[in-house]
């Protein structure tokens, strides 16, 4: 069986879960990681753990300046500019763009300069085609080089589709009860869009509002 070879940009929560899913699925090889903010030892320390999905199975260790997962060595890059990541040298054909920063097509397209065939954005994009399984996945065209898998919209969109297809929706109000995100503070301090999360539920914005109408 020929496995799809994938590189992951940014080993945050989503990046780590993508890697975990890939190894559990068995049909995807993670061949490279790019993260300019953490070193090898910290990668190896973080990879086995997730506060929601518990500890992963398998073996993870550092060897010859690479993380080795279940016996598979993974190439590390530490570039901030996507156009400078040598994905092709590591054999990556697809890139998971999970920084939440390079979401417009022009910025995400920088990954394509180093041998990558396709880019999957893990957050809503203002202009990239977005697909959610159970909503519009059948519209996916294999010629597309950059796509978005939306975000937490994936939970709400299938339910909204059923209601809209059968009864029609004129207007709606969405409330997301979400884990703490990078824009929320855990201690008192100035914040542009929310209060202190540690003190209780706080108001903030959601990119799901960008994705849902486009789906």
State the pLDDT confidence band at 81, using cuts at 50, 70 and 90: very high
pLDDT of residue 213: 72
pLDDT of residue 139: 95
Show the domain range for 157.
153-214
Q: Note whether 91 and 127 are same-domain residues.
A: yes
pLDDT tens digit sequence for 36-58: 999 999 999 999 988 888 888 88
- Model-level pTM greater than 0.85? yes
pLDDT of residue 183: 66
Q: Note whether 114 and 29 are same-domain residues.
A: yes
How many domains does the structure of the chain reveal? Answer: 2
For residue 106, pLDDT beyond 80:
yes
Q: Note whether 143 and 158 are same-domain residues.
A: no
Q: What percent of the chain has pLDDT over 90?
A: 60
pLDDT of residue 211: 74
For residue 127, pLDDT beyond 70:
yes
Give the end of a domain, one of 124, 148, 172.
148
Give the end of a domain, one of 148, 176, 204.
148
Q: What CATH number has the domain bearing residue 105?
A: 3.40.50.720
Q: Note whether 11 and 109 are same-domain residues.
A: yes
The lowest-confidence range among 117-121, 135-139, 149-153 is 149-153
Average pLDDT of the chain to the nearest whole number: 87
Length of the chain: 215
Q: Helix, strand or coil for residue 32? A: strand
User: Which residue numbers are catalytic?
Assistant: 152
pLDDT of residue 2: 86
Q: Note whether 48 and 101 are same-domain residues.
A: yes
HEC profile of 48-98: CCCCCCCCCCCCEEEECCEEEECCEECEEECCCCHHHCCHHHHCCCEEEEC
Q: Note whether 128 and 194 are same-domain residues.
A: no
């Amino acid at each position: 069986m020929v496995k799809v070879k994938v590189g992951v940009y940014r080993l945050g929560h989503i990046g780590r879960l993508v890697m975990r899913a890939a190894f559990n699925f068995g049909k995807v090889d993670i061949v490279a990681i790019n993260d300019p903010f953490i070193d090898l030892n910290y990668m190896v320390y973080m990879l086995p753990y997730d506060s929601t999905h518990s500890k992963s199975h398998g073996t993870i260790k550092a060897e010859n300046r690479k993380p080795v997962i279940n016996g598979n060595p993974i190439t590390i890059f530490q570039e901030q500019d996507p156009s400078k990541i040598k994905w092709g040298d590591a054999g990556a054909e697809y890139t998971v763009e999970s920084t939440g920063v390079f979401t417009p097509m022009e910025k995400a397209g920088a990954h394509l300069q180093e041998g990558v065939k396709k880019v999957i954005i893990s957050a809503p994009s203002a202009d990239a085609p977005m697909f959610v399984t159970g909503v519009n996945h059948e519209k996916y065209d294999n010629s597309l080089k950059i796509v978005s898998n939306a975000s937490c919209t994936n939970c709400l969109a299938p339910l909204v589709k059923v209601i809209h297809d059968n009864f029609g929706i004129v207007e709606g109000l969405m409330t997301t009860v979400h884990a703490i995100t990078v824009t929320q503070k855990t201690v008192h301090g100035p914040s542009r869009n929310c209060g202190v999360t540690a003190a209780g539920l706080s108001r903030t914005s959601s990119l799901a509002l960008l994705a849902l109408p486009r789906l």
